[in-house]
Amino acid sequence: MPTKPKLLSGGNPQIPKGEGDAPVQAFIEAMPGWKRDVGRRIDALIVRTVPGVRKAVKWNTPFFGVGEEGYFAAFHCFNKYVKVTFFRGTSLKPLPPGESKVKDVRYYDIHEGKLDEEQLASWIRQAAALPGLVQ
């Protein structure tokens, strides 16, 4: 019987790295509480918005990309929210609200009951059209 993934600080699941949908789904299923539903919604929104999206789990974080161009977004669990990272976020309109010390990166923190799917879909569409971050 497989053991449940360990939750790291902030409740982020520790999932082995891997390419494809399976490791991303394992990550989402291991997300604690209400965050699991948010993870499912983010994943479904990305799949609907970006046909043929490429998925991977690296550094205990699901990454999303287009072709071999690199990744445009990722998400991570924290105690009170799920953080969506846009690697070229400073090019998105309107700017995602979370600032970063990393050039070009912007964040969207999703607190319980506060996911704006329409805005998130707009940022995903814009981000997927930009050159990705090679990892």
User: What pLDDT, in 10s, does the model give residues 36-85?
Assistant: 999 999 999 999 999 999 999 999 999 999 987 789 999 999 999 999 99
DSSP 108-123: EEEETT---HHHHHHH
Task: For the chain, list the domains and their CATH numbers.
Answer: 12-128 (3.90.1150.200)
40 sits in which H/E element? helix 34-49
Residue 96 to residue 67: CA distance in whole angstroms: 24
Q: Contact, 50 vs 124, CB < 8 A? A: yes
SS3 assignment, position 124: helix
Q: Contact, 74 vs 85, CB < 8 A? A: yes
This prediction has a pTM of: 0.92
